[in-house]
Structure 1
Amino acid sequence: MKKILLATAALSLTAGMALAESHGKTIRMGTEGAYPPYNFINDAGEVDGFERELGDELCKRAELTCEWVKNDWDSIIPNLVSGNYDTIMAGMSITDERKEVIAFTQNYYPPTASAYVAASEEADLEGGVVAGQTATIQAGYVAESGATLIEFATPEETVAAVRNGEADAVFADKDYLVPIVEESGGELMFVGEDVPLGGGIGMGLRQSDTELRDTFDAVITEMKEDGSLNTMLKKWFGDDTTTYE
């Protein structure tokens, strides 16, 4: 099992102070609800998945009342900035470009690989048509790769584009693609090399919400140090997933 070393020594006492000052507040947690196992809508019509379980635990430890709000991916950052909710927990990779608009906590999912999936081992990844979800780091990578990028609003549509022949391959988070490939009965397969992108997945917040960011940073650190975050990662992504040490 791969390990990622913790880098938490630099957290100051101000995080603990922010944690105490934030108790009791109602926080609206924004998510896409369409990116299993990170987040999805279950049969009861409720937000579910790794980020729902993690977010609820973070709120419990911070003594916050948290409400979940579903929002489409392509407007998830603008609606955070405009105040429709207070955080984003939606499988969002930490990037320098996004940091120009919003703030992030430390990552709660370590940097991981993105991958190509196609219906044929002969898929042309360099000169063909590759599907990606709009406004993702994967779509940005494809746009600069030489391939023709075709964008879709949801991750399901990117995979459907490969199944129906509209795209030669899809490029997305490998953890999202693994169960799809496994359940395809050989119809879909991984092709090419994995590509490491981004700085891991973190919680997005408005840049002005420094106290709230410090609060969540403190409880994420706590869950890394007591091993509970690793337990949750293995529950949702398997024993071979990258964890924290």
Structure 2
Amino acid sequence: MKSLIMGTAALALAAGMAFAQGQTIRMGTEGAYPPYNFINDAGEVDGFERELGDELCKRAELTCEWVKNDWDSIIPNLVSGNYDTIMAGMSITDERDQVIDFTQNYFPPTASAYVAASDGVDVLNGVVAAQTATIQAGHVAESGATLVEFATPEETIAAVRNGEADAVLADYDFLVPLVEESSGELMFVGEPVPLGGGIGMGLRESDGELRDRFDAIITEMKADGSLNTMLKKWFGEDTTTY
């Protein structure tokens, strides 16, 4: 899944917080990566992670407040205290784990994929678009292809449509509905690329108590089948489940 590449650790909070029953937890998200998270017609955060996050807070007897933040500053703003968690299609990576902490994954590891406007595109030597500061961008940069980066996932797709890029590399589950709705204009090309360790909730390293509370509930939801139900609702019956 999507994975921000951080060069430095920025700010760090010295002490953790104790979150009491009923306390408001600020949940940071991008709001631009359907079906994981997006802004609906009412102007509210919606998607798989909104539903899951609300359920996690309900079971933890906490109140969720959702905060939208641009992807390229989503980790620094967590660390500096602008919100308490990140649920934003965020891949668990060793690099990110040096800066923040994670729960276990709530979306299993899956492959990224290439999408192009024509068959036969050379994804290893052509021009490939990816969202800035993602693990997909890092992969393209190391693959031998020419990387073009964009601030939002929508811009990466537009680059393929307008011929600015030969293909885009992104999360498979993000690309599936775009390909299906394109009436043949977009298609999968090349081989799938396994990246990341699944999607998890990001938290400050100082908030171990909150991490443990949410982690226990994710374990509970895997065991009782409710997480699989949500995954199938948002990603289809054929999606990878626990």
TM surpasses 0.5: yes
Q: Does 1:32 align with 2:46?
A: no
Q: Provide the rounded CA distance (Å) in 1 between the counterparts of 2:214 and 2:64.
A: 12
- Which of the residues 137, 140, 162 maps onto 1:139? 137
Which runs of 5 or more residues in structure 2 are unaligned? 1-17
**What residue number does 1:9 align with?**
none
Aligned partner of 1:190 among 188, 191, 194? 188
Q: Is the 8 A contact 1:38 1:91 kept in 2?
A: yes
Counting only pairs closer than 5 Å after superposition, residues 156-235 of structure 1 correspond to structure 2 as 156-235=154-233
Query: Is this contact kept in 1: 2:179–2:187, CA < 8 A?
Result: yes
1:63 aligns with 2:77: no
Equivalent of residue 83 in structure 1, options 76, 81, 84: 81
For 1:82, the aligned partner's letter is S
Greater Cα shift, 75-84 or 20-29 = 20-29
Provide the residue aligned with 1:42 in structure 2. 40
| TM-score normalised to structure 2 length | 0.92
Q: 1:237 is matched with which residue?
A: 235
Q: Secondary structure at the match of 2:147?
A: strand
Mind listing any 5+ residue stretches in structure 1 that lack a counterpart?
A: 1-19
**1:23 Cα offset (Å):** 2.2
Q: TM-score, normalised by structure 1?
A: 0.90
Of 146, 149, 154, the residue aligned with 2:147 is 149
- The RMSD of aligned alpha carbons is 1.0
Distance in 1 separating the partners of 2:124 and 2:169: 12
- Cα contact 1:22–1:212 (8 A) shared by 2: no
Tell me how many residue pairs correspond in the alignment: 225
Instruction: Determine the C-alpha separation between the residues in 2 that align with 1:214 and 1:178.
Output: 33
Which whole-Å CA distance do the structure 1 matches of 2:102 and 2:134 have between them?
16
Distance 1:234 1:93 in 2: 19
Deviations 1:14-65 (A, max 9, x none): xxxxxx9742221100000000000000000000000000000000000001
Q: Secondary structure at the match of 2:148?
A: strand
SS in 2 for 1:85: coil
User: Percent sequence identity over matched residues?
Assistant: 87
1:59 and 1:65 in contact (8 A); partners too: yes
Distance 1:27 1:236 in 2: 24
Q: Separation in 2 of the partners of 1:139 and 1:21?
A: 36
Contact 2:19/2:210 (CA < 8 Å) preserved in 1?
no
8 Å contact from structure 2 (residues 25, 83) kept in 1: yes
CA distance in 1: counterparts of 2:226 and 2:120, whole angstroms: 42
1:243 counterpart SS class:
coil
CA separation in 1, counterparts of 2:19 and 2:220? 17
Asked whether the 8 Å contact 1:132–1:150 carries over to 2, the reply is: yes
